[in-house]
Amino acid sequence: MKRFPLLSGAALCCLSTFSPSTLAQTTCPALGAINLESGEAPAKIISSTVVAVPPSGLALVGTQIINPLAVSQYCKVTGYVAPQNHFEIRLPDPGAWNGKMYFAACQGFCGTLNGDFDNAGLAQGYAAVTSNGGHFSAPGFDGLWGASSPQLQQDFGYRDNHVVTVAAKKIIEAYYGSAPRRSYMAGCSKGGQGVLEEALSYPDEYDGILPFAPVYDYTGKGVIHASWVTQANRAAGDGNIIDDAAVDLVHDSVLAACDGLDGALDGVVGDPLTCRWKPSDLACSPARPKACLSAPQVHALTQLYAPPTNRFGQLLFPTGNTVGSENAEWKLWVNQHLPTRSFNYQVAQQQMEFLDFARWPQDILNSDPYRFDFTRDPDKLQRGRTLYDSTSVDLRAFAARGGKVLWQHGWADASIPAKSSIHYYLRAVQQYGLPYTSSFFKLYLLPGVTHCGGGPGSDHSDALSALDNWVERGQAPQKIMTYQLNNGALVRPRPVWPFPGVAHFSGSGSPDDPAGWAVIDRGFGSLYPPARVVTYERPYSEVRDRSKTD
Ligand SMILES: [Ca+2]
């Protein structure tokens, strides 16, 4: 949990100069009396109280940089939409409200309600909302709540964010006397799928979205790619072919070969697409008898970087892991540390066991990632795809209303490969053309950044302001500045340009001097046209037919 120290100063300064709204003291508790028990999002408010911002400031989660305003207190509203879609809304005082709404979608398997997700918006004057994804559950990859619970599965897949949005807009209007003039939504991983799903299925609800490393192909990633990785690295006794030491060996070799391709030896591969390193470069040989990979290791690593395919060679997911993503996160997602299973194993096992089928355990065919059959089993996942996947690139209804997409993904993500985001973008371009697509949709790939932030790269940016500026003033973002947040200080500045632009350093000094970086537009090259993924071929109208998921 990070705290932004500037905010504490802002909060302290304004407690003495800005009289806390007596209006809030009256209207906030009064929210509990409004009746929301009708319509498609029947809701009840559990509590509504004014909360003072502590001198230490608002706790922040995520990668949003804030420009703190004078938020000295807020109205905290908790409640739920039937049956179990719990939410927390944090409302700035009427005098501090910017007239807009910010929704932070839950991530992972959701199941918790973390009001601090609101703070990236609250601190900048937004009425901010977050939810639990439609259920409460244990931390980590716990899918048990989904057992024989089609309603909770639907809520998690697509309904929770929608109904909470509907209820939140009513509450915001009740509090301020007017509905939000603009609404934005942000989320990473499963949260990224959630914001994309909103734009696809409920295009009137948001004016701009901030997907970060979205698992838009929830089934393809969570079951198929996760099982592929699990099987590729399986050694006798369910150990690892590429163990933690081999991961380090590989990463050092990749860095030696490709760190400098972006012009800066800064411990980060800036453009993995130009990195020609391959596993056989580390193969053991008479010339390299030590610090090398055995033949089975070369084979396993090749499989890990390769996309999942069936026995006919057809593509089941757009990509394998990314060269340069061999890091601490890789060791968690790919490697077993028995008795703890890899994250990929846990995700695939829990999805197949509890989330993809209506009746547990009667319907379960196989919940062992080691036994997933890439030729026979993908067809058994159609119900899960209908519930959880947002693979359509048809954002036309969203764009027609002026909706904008500012999409980010870390290149060093060892969970959801960044190339899956590229694949989505290229499919959109293939379907609707580059001029149209880029007019409302920009993709930013962040070098050295791991899943949802972290890693050796620069993960923080003021993406929300860039999006707001685009929506409100029509000023499309180009370069965005990214930083690491280190003890409250913004360090390691790096400009990032929209894909396919690549940042290259040609300065003579430190790569921390942003003036030394410029953009190279290397085009789509061999990436285009995007390879055909057979699992995306199902008619979208059929995928959207959710009447069959009860
Ligand atoms: Ca570099």
Distance 511 CA to ligand 1 centre (A): 9
Q: Which of 155, 179, 203 is the last residue of a domain?
A: 179
Distance 504 CA to ligand 1 centre (A): 9
Distance 255 CA to ligand 1 centre (A): 8
Distance 236 CA to ligand 1 centre (A): 37
Distance 254 CA to ligand 1 centre (A): 11
Distance 422 CA to ligand 1 centre (A): 20
Report how many domains make up the chain: 2
In a domain, 340, yes or no: yes
Distance 265 CA to ligand 1 centre (A): 5
pTM, rounded to two decimals: 0.95
444: enclosing H helix or E strand: strand 441-446
Distance 259 CA to ligand 1 centre (A): 4
Distance 289 CA to ligand 1 centre (A): 29
Distance 195 CA to ligand 1 centre (A): 31
Shared domain for 172 and 228, answered yes or no, is no
Distance 529 CA to ligand 1 centre (A): 28
Distance 491 CA to ligand 1 centre (A): 16
Shared domain for 69 and 140, answered yes or no, is yes
Distance 256 CA to ligand 1 centre (A): 10
Quick one: tokens of 57?
């400031």
Distance 428 CA to ligand 1 centre (A): 29
Distance 448 CA to ligand 1 centre (A): 9
Tokens 């806390």 locate to 20
Shared domain for 156 and 225, answered yes or no, is no
Amino acid at 312: F
Shared domain for 1 and 72, answered yes or no, is yes
Burial degree of 15 (CB within 10 A; 0-12, 13-18, 19+): middle
Shared domain for 228 and 332, answered yes or no, is yes
Shared domain for 230 and 377, answered yes or no, is yes
Backbone angles phi, psi at 178, to 5 degrees: -150, 150
**Cα dihedral 370, 371, 376, 380 sign:** negative
In a domain, 94, yes or no: yes
Shared domain for 242 and 346, answered yes or no, is yes
CA trace torsion 436, 437, 442, 446 (10° rounding): -140
Shared domain for 174 and 228, answered yes or no, is no
In a domain, 549, yes or no: no
Shared domain for 233 and 122, answered yes or no, is no
pLDDT tens for the chain, 550 residues: list them. Answer: 333 333 333 333 333 334 446 788 889 999 999 999 999 999 999 999 999 999 888 999 999 998 777 689 999 999 999 999 999 999 999 999 999 999 999 999 999 999 999 999 999 999 999 999 999 999 999 999 999 999 999 999 999 999 999 999 999 999 999 999 999 999 999 999 999 999 999 999 999 999 999 999 999 999 999 999 999 999 999 999 999 999 999 999 999 999 999 999 999 999 999 999 999 999 999 999 999 999 999 999 999 999 999 999 999 999 999 999 999 999 999 999 999 999 999 999 999 999 999 999 999 888 999 999 999 999 999 999 999 999 999 999 999 999 999 999 999 999 999 999 999 999 999 999 999 999 999 999 999 999 999 999 999 999 999 999 999 999 999 999 999 999 889 999 999 999 999 999 998 899 999 999 999 998 999 999 999 999 887 766 666 777 777 7
CA distance 474 to 417: 31
Q: How many CB atoms lie within 10 A of CB 99?
A: 14
Q: Which of 388, 412, 434 is the last residue of a domain?
A: 388
Shared domain for 2 and 150, answered yes or no, is yes
CA distance 385 to 535: 10
Distance 263 CA to ligand 1 centre (A): 6
Q: Which of 127, 153, 179 is the last residue of a domain?
A: 179
In terms of residue numbers, what domain contains 122? 1-179
Shared domain for 235 and 371, answered yes or no, is yes
Shared domain for 264 and 165, answered yes or no, is no
Helix boundaries (H) for 46-125 = 119-122
Geometric angle at alpha carbon 71, from 66 and 76, rounded to 5°: 105
In a domain, 478, yes or no: no
Distance 451 CA to ligand 1 centre (A): 19
Distance 452 CA to ligand 1 centre (A): 20
In a domain, 29, yes or no: yes
Distance 246 CA to ligand 1 centre (A): 22
In a domain, 407, yes or no: no
Distance 456 CA to ligand 1 centre (A): 11
Distance 510 CA to ligand 1 centre (A): 12
In a domain, 509, yes or no: no
